[in-house]
Amino acid sequence: MSEEPRSPNADSSHLLEVTDLHVEFQTKTGPSRAVDGVSFYVDEGESLGIVGESGCGKSVTAMGILRLIASTGRIASGSVRLDGEELTELSNSQMRAIRGKKISMIMQDPMTALNPTFTIGYQVGEAMKIHEGVRGKSLLGRVLQLLRLVNIPAAERRVRDYPDQFSGGMRQRIAGAIGISTTPQVLICDEPTTALDVTIQAQYLELLKEVQEQTGVALVFITHDMGIVARMCERVAVMYAGRVVESGTTREVFRNPAHPYTISLLRCLPRLEGVERLESIDGQPPDPREMPPGCRFAPRCPKAQQQCHEAYPEFAPVSSGHHASCFFPGGW
Amino acid sequence: MGRFIAQRILHAIFAMFVITVVIFGTVRLSGDPARMMISDEAPHEQYLEMRRLLLLDRPIPEQYWRWVSQAAQGDFGTSLRYQIPVSELVSTRLPATLELAVAAYGFTLLLGLTIGVYSAAFRGSALDAGARLLAVMGQAAPNFWLGIMLVLVFAVWLNWLPSGGRGEWRHLVLPAITLGWGPVAGLMRITRSSMIEVLSSDYVRLARVKGVGETSVLWKHAFKNGALPILTFASLVFLGLIRGSVIVETVFFWPGIGLLVLEGVNNRDFQLVQAIILLFSSWVIFGNLLVDILYVYLNPKIKH
Amino acid sequence: MTTDSEFVKAPATMVAAPSRFAMPILPALSLAVMVSLVVVALFAPLLAPHSERHGQLQYSLEPPVFDGGTIRFPLGTDIHGRDQLSRVIYGARISVSVVLVILVFKTLIGVGLGLVAGFFGGILDSLIMSTVDILIAFPAFLLAILMAVIFGPSFLNVILIITLFIWPPTARQVRVEVLALKQQDFVTLARCAGSSNTRIMIKHILPGVIPTVLVITTLQVGTVILFEAALSFLGVGIPPPAPSWGGMVSEGRAQLTSAPWLSIVPGFAIFATVLATNTLGDWLRDRLDPRLQTL
């Protein structure tokens, strides 16, 4: 695969930069802020992990970047810049030219992410057909090349098969092939391995890493699994109740976690190669329509003080390049 | 799969048997056809002659068997009123009914599928609400009244289209809309609900992520997956159109089979009526059978 | 800012569940329409300003009051000089009684046979269910026309014919419910306590099928009205001079150009009634038995 020449960064130093993003859904009981002021960035060739429980807004953030939010929702404010270009201001057709070309995505569940009524060859080739106008023999060639890259055996024969003729692991690799088919600048991986068993999971992550080394694609991992972050990402952003509560380099955050929520997430990591104990966090995240006035984690936080229930802690530096929203960072 | 189809075929044959018995029995209950064929002053010998001719002197099962076996060979007897073979009458009227049914079906598909797909795509929007309203109103309006109202507006008041009869395409517009209108609501609902299911699937999201255009997302990626229940319903709709044709042909003086059966009813021409109802019934029953088989054949879930 | 449509669904917790029995405006309005229809039907002789059967020829084809007519005949008159308002009022009587009688009949037959089929199973079940299947596959409207002609158009025949074709869906649905209810613990308990079959069916199973029956029955009101109207329109339903709405549309059609209101008004009465009952039925279905969605 050849690397696309990239336009010079206009007024941003990062490849993808999300600033103060707000996404709102209309509900019968009023608007609900699923994403409430999220900021992060990712650079070329880099991997960022966005971590949090389901419902914390991480998937909505990803969809917000792609501007694919349900008709009941909208991006209320904030900016998403790709290569200096403001995505929130593009027309729908301009945005479509970016989707699948500059930003691509791998879905969580390989069993449902492929369309059962099209051959996998068609599905792998579709984005190249749309964005690069490749047709016929040369398209088939590119599709086969991709299928071989993701280790689909007998690709020539299987290109005309339908998804239900493949195993789960192969389907996920095919989904990966679709994600990288147009050599995007940013590839969002939404829980890309939760549906796979452990060995296949490891192979798959390895494959993504190889692709990244070859193409310089920036990877954004949306996950609840700190293990994947530790293995794949240089930097991590922890989300809770629609906001980023801690961010920094993976090494720093893992070594000196500042936010109690991050600490609980790290405790959920299975230790000693797997099965010793899984500690889950008590309680439920708050209802996005009725956010607590203070720190949103305070109702579940074992160390919460009066102060925590009254004001939202500023997102402040803990050490260089490491920020957290907590009045009592780390020291406990 | 084979067992299911065999079961459906047996069921259809049994239904045909029951329906022939019902039609035969109902018509026999109507009185003595021989009496109606001859004048009241005719001598008794002539009456007996007519009974022999109509096989009315034979045992009932034999009469039934003769009627059914002749019908199976396309011989439906002679129309009491027109004095020509019923099969001839029917075949001269059939093209008109088919023409109307096909035009109406086109209207139903066009409107039902389009509105269904787009109200699923824009769920909760004004378009969706409007479509729902249209569906509810469409189901409540009796088709004969709808037809008359269309005539009133477009033929009487605006004078744009003819009020009845068969001829050039302008004659076809109002009857086709009237006949096609009823099933639009149902088709729209089915299309909407199966599209909503498909549209929230991951593979449709993935198509959007790839940058596939909205029209292609809807009609190619999504529709192909939602098509099975829609197709099944759509084929049943076509069978149902034949039933509606009696009313619509009456309203628009459309010279098809529906109008013929009503003329037969008014003239007490039972040979004719019984033949047409038998024809319509077998059309519905074997059409249903065909849809069942097609469904099994197309549905991968049942096939595997 | 614009977004392309459907993508991320709002989390389930964000969608407020509608309260179970709060009645929104449309179903409430529909119920009001139905209740007033029944009232009109009951008190037709008091409400109708003129006779519905006898006209005065000197007042033939008077226009309605909104089309230059007088208040004496608010909805105009037909060719025989009969007051259309009075005829529509008495027509409500016909519609209401046709619907009530048919629905009582079909509920008795449908619930009875459905209960028996579901409860006892076996030969009885197969027999009842194949009858149901065949009747549903029948081209009902055509057979109805044939029967109406042969047995002669009359109130009673219309009732019998429509009932014949309208009970099967009830029986089928009741049977499904009974099959589920039969497995419930309280039925086993009752059986252990020595209750008879009849007692179990009536005391323990029948109450469980009532919501389903209620939904189907409400939704079938429209079907019955349209069925009767279509038969009467073709001249094989309720015979004239009784003012059946369907028959009135048919009679009025001859004067479509000179007196369009004669076709508009009775047809609109059918339309409004069916619209109201369908709206109420849809609402009831969503509330009581969402599984019946495909009905």
Is the CB of B142 less than 8 angstroms away from the CB of C4?
no
Is the CB of A69 less than 8 angstroms away from the CB of C7?
yes
Q: What percent of chain A has pLDDT over 70?
A: 90
- A22 pLDDT band (50/70/90 cuts)? very high
Is the CB of B210 less than 8 angstroms away from the CB of A107?
no
Interval A13-18 mean pLDDT: 89
- Report yes or no: C196 and C208 within 8 Å, Cβ to Cβ: no
pLDDT for the residue A270: 58
- Report yes or no: A83 and A15 within 8 Å, Cβ to Cβ: yes
pLDDT for the residue C111: 94
- Report yes or no: A293 and A285 within 8 Å, Cβ to Cβ: no
Q: Is the pLDDT of residue A35 over 70?
A: yes
Neighbours, chain C (3 or more CB pairs < 8 A): A, B
Closest CA to C247 of C82, C116, C127: C82
Q: How far is B53 from chain C (nearest CA, A)?
A: 23
Name the 3-class secondary structure at A34.
strand
A105 DSSP β-pair partners: A188
The structural domains of chain B, ordered by start, are 99-258 (1.10.3720.10)
pLDDT tens profile A41-55: 999 999 999 998 877
- Candidates C3, C5, C6, partner chain A, best to mutate (most A CBs within 10 A): C3
- Candidates A21, A26, A27, A54, partner chain C, best to mutate (most C CBs within 10 A): A27
- A194 pLDDT band (50/70/90 cuts)? low
pLDDT tens across the length of chain C (295 residues)? 333 333 333 333 333 344 445 678 888 888 999 999 999 989 888 887 877 777 777 777 778 877 777 777 788 888 787 888 889 999 999 999 999 999 999 999 999 999 999 888 889 998 898 888 888 877 788 888 888 888 888 899 999 999 999 999 999 989 988 888 888 878 778 778 777 888 888 888 888 888 889 989 988 999 999 999 999 998 888 888 888 999 999 988 888 888 888 889 999 999 999 999 988 988 888 887 656 544 4
Rounded-to-integer distance, Cα A317 and Cα A258, Å: 10
pLDDT tens profile A271-325: 444 433 445 566 777 877 778 888 888 888 877 888 888 888 888 888 888 998 8
Which among C142, C230, C253 has CB closest to B142? C230
A99 DSSP β-pair partners: A103
pLDDT tens profile B38-74: 666 777 887 787 777 777 777 888 888 888 888 888 8
Rounded-to-integer distance, Cα A192 and Cα A25, Å: 26
Q: What percent of chain A has pLDDT over 90?
A: 23
Q: Which residues of A touch C3 (CB under 8 A)?
A: 67-69, 71, 73-75
Rounded-to-integer distance, Cα C245 and Cα C237, Å: 11
Q: Where are the alpha helices (DSSP H) in chain B?
A: 2-29, 33-37, 44-53, 60-72, 86-121, 126-140, 143-150, 169-199, 202-209, 214-216, 223-252, 257-266, 270-298, 300-303
Rounded-to-integer distance, Cα A184 and Cα A231, Å: 22
Which among B122, B242, B265 has CB closest to C145? B265
Q: Is the pTM of the predicted complex or chain greater than 0.80?
A: no
| Residue at A322: amino acid letter | H
E strand or H helix at A221: strand A218-223
Q: How far is B73 from chain C (nearest CA, A)?
A: 22
Q: Does A322 touch chain B (CB under 8 A)?
A: no
Rounded-to-integer distance, Cα B143 and Cα B156, Å: 18
A202 CB contacts (<8 Å, ≥6 apart)?
A: none
- β pairing state of A218-223 and A186-190: parallel
Q: C241 preceded by cis ω (within 30°)? A: yes
- Candidates A72, A87, A94, A105, partner chain C, best to mutate (most C CBs within 10 A): A72
DSSP structure string for C251-289: HHGGGTTT-THHHHHHHHHHHHHHHHHHHHHHHHHHHH-
Q: What letters, b where the CB count within 10 A reaches 16 and e where it falls short, cover C63-74?
A: bbeeeebeeebe
Is the CB of A105 less than 8 angstroms away from the CB of B124?
no
Is the CB of A63 less than 8 angstroms away from the CB of C9?
no
- Candidates B127, B202, B219, B299, partner chain A, best to mutate (most A CBs within 10 A): B202
Lookup: tokens for B132: 């729902």
- Report yes or no: B226 and B149 within 8 Å, Cβ to Cβ: no
Rounded-to-integer distance, Cα B145 and Cα C125, Å: 41
- A1 pLDDT band (50/70/90 cuts)? very low
Query: If you measure CA to CA, which chain C residue comes closest to B265?
Result: C149
- Report yes or no: A266 and A253 within 8 Å, Cβ to Cβ: no
Q: Which residues of chain B have pLDDT under 50?
A: 302-304
- Between the alpha carbon of residue B54 and those of residues B71, B77, B80, C106, the distances in Å are 15, 9, 11, 38
Query: If you measure CA to CA, which chain C residue comes closest to B18?
Result: C134
Is the CB of A29 less than 8 angstroms away from the CB of C4?
no
pLDDT for the residue A294: 85
Is the CB of A113 less than 8 angstroms away from the CB of B202?
yes
pLDDT for the residue A33: 86
Q: Is the pLDDT of residue A116 over 90?
A: no
Which among A29, A67, A88 has CB closest to C4? A67
Q: Which residues of B touch A98 (CB under 8 A)?
A: 211
Query: If you measure CA to CA, which chain B residue comes closest to C234?
Result: B247
Q: How far is A303 from chain B (nearest CA, A)?
A: 40
Which among A68, A72, A114 has CB closest to B209? A68
Rounded-to-integer distance, Cα B64 and Cα B292, Å: 29
Residue with the two structure tokens 């914390």: A56
Q: Which residues of C touch A75 (CB under 8 A)?
A: 1, 3
Rounded-to-integer distance, Cα B166 and Cα A67, Å: 53
Rounded-to-integer distance, Cα C209 and Cα C289, Å: 11
Q: Is the pLDDT of residue A37 over 60?
A: yes
Please write down the long-range contacts of C76-79, taking CB distance under 8 Å and 24 or more positions apart. Answer: C76/C259, C76/C261, C76/C262, C76/C265, C78/C248, C78/C251, C78/C252, C78/C255, C78/C259, C78/C262, C79/C251, C79/C254, C79/C255, C79/C259
- Report yes or no: C266 and C245 within 8 Å, Cβ to Cβ: yes
Q: How far is C24 from chain A (nearest CA, A)?
A: 15
Interval A200-222 mean pLDDT: 89
Chain A interface residues (partner C, CB cutoff 8 A): 25, 27-29, 32, 34, 55, 59-60, 63, 66-75, 88-89, 91-92, 95-96, 287-289
Closest CA to C221 of C90, C30, C5, C48: C30
